[in-house]
Amino acid sequence: MSLSNSNNKNAELKKEVPKEEENTVIATILSDSESNKISFEVTTKLFKNNDSIIKIGRSSSCNIQLNDLLISSVHLEIKFDSESKKLQVKCIGRNGTTINGIKIRNTNFISLYNNDVLVLGEKIKLKIQYKKETKSIYDYYKFGNELGVGHYAVVKTGINKITGKKFAIKEFHKQNIKDLYKFEKESEILINLKHENIIKLFDTFIEPIPNEHDFFKTFLVMDYANGGELFNRIVKKGKLRIDESKDIFRQLLSGVKYLHLNHIIHRDIKPENVLLDIKYRDSNNINNENDIQTGPWDKNELSITVKLADFGLAKFIGGTDKNSKKNFTSTMCGSPGYVSPEILQNKEYCEKTDMWSLGVLLYILLCGFPPFSDQLGPPSMKQQIIEAKYAFYSPYWDEIPDIALDLISNLLQLDTKKRFSVIQAVNHPWFNDIIPHSQYHKFINRITPSQQQDTYLSQQKVKLIR
């Protein structure tokens, strides 16, 4: 056989040898229980298919077999989320499981973090140890100026070191392992939301704190909205023009409609949580004929895109039956002045709690001050909200058409069955001006100057505060 034939044969053999599949260790599952000592390496090969699952339980068919009568045949299922690079666990065992002391059972898949401790039954403890990652937010982003500060986090600008693109980075205050579930909650809701009027989440990071083993810094990398908060626009202008308010509110309703159709309640809608992304005219060519305004904006603005942000209090409510218990919740939350009567009274509530907050926001857009305030008391702001005690005071509402006030009145409706849904709000005639305004007058609680002599508003306007 010639040398050339031999070389060709060797080349063919090399082609026939299958390339060895890459197998990387993701994490190790550890247990030092006397009857169940475990050190199980979770590798990428175990998840070669998208629907691959690791099973933990008493059955011999499980990847990790446990010897304990309180453990179900299949107690846990674990999958790998390729986007977050995290293992996710679901408990299907009868006796439940706790993660860092928090009980889970028959839930959706929940992400696991480094050093998480799972207790199965009464005795068996499993610890998750991820392979040490080198990915750090500081390797990818250069931090800039502060954009805002909240109860749980600070938001700063961040420049991607590779692309130069600007983002908003939400840096949560120091968290322990249990607190990571608050972070996970917001990030998991946001990562699945895709709508032009909802802030977009691009990446998440968890950073260890040197010399503080059980504490972490967590980060969300999100859209940067160059126009800042809607709150600042209102304060700067005093109030917004009617057409300007209408366009901003229309966009906001579009985002909330998307949330509600996906069974998500925001629960903290207020001007501080509404961001504006503004496209400005070229300052060097202010009269450029190709620059076309897309809405009723200021002279130097071509377009404004509204983005609803801050999903730290958002909640998923499952179920397609509108009367199902799954569609109601009872957690006390929200911001004073914007919170609905049902929340203040510790009643069960549904997505219509967002509609109340939207009614407050629209009221503020059009007149520059809130409908409920201790400055308007007595009674107290809380009691004003519980009674839906508000009015449209002269002269601040004299120029606002009845049809706009009708929309607000249907949003600030005490009876949740009568309160507008987001679909009803989107379809309200104010947005098309077809129905004459006059037919709405009989429903509006306008207060004339003679009627408000004894109110705070007869002296000065209520101040809008955070």
Active site residue 268: yes
What is the secondary structure of 204-226 as a DSSP string? EEEEEETTEEEEEEEEEEE---T
User: Which residue, 313, 318, 285, 310, is CA-closest to 300?
Assistant: 285
How far lies 228's CA from each of 156, 224, 255, 304, in Å? 12, 9, 18, 11
**Please, where are the H alpha helices in 79-225?**
137-140, 180-191
Residues in contact with 364: Cβ distance below 8 Å, sequence separation at least 6, in sequence order: 234, 271, 370, 371, 464
Q: Which of 116, 203, 268, 354 is catalytic?
A: 268
Place of tokens 């949003």: 411
Gyration radius (Cα) of the chain, Å: 28
Cis amide linkage into residue 210, ω under 30° from 0: no
How far lies 115's CA from each of 28, 34, 330, in Å? 10, 20, 32
C-beta separation of 190 from 199 below 8 A: yes
C-beta separation of 369 from 463 below 8 A: yes
User: Which residue, 155, 187, 153, is CA-closest to 169?
Assistant: 155
Q: By three-state DSSP, how is residue 57 classified?
A: strand
C-beta separation of 66 from 60 below 8 A: no
Residues in contact with 42: Cβ distance below 8 Å, sequence separation at least 6, in sequence order: 25, 26, 27, 28, 29, 54, 78, 80, 87
Q: Return the biggest CA–CA distance within the chain.
A: 113
User: Which residue, 126, 412, 311, is CA-closest to 404?
Assistant: 412
Question: Could you tell me how many residues make up the chain?
Answer: 466
| Element holding 385 (H helix, E strand) | helix 381-386
Long-range contacts of 46-52 (CB under 8 A, 24+ apart): 46/80, 47/79, 47/80, 48/21, 51/79, 52/79, 52/80
Distance CA 394, CA 403 (A): 17
What is the secondary structure of 430-444 as a DSSP string? GGT--S-GGGGGGG-
Q: Is 178 annotated as a binding residue?
A: no
Neighbours of 107 (CB within 10 A): 12
Task: List, by residue number, the catalytic residues.
Answer: 268
- Which residues belong to the annotated binding site? 170
- Which residues belong to the annotated binding site for ATP? 170
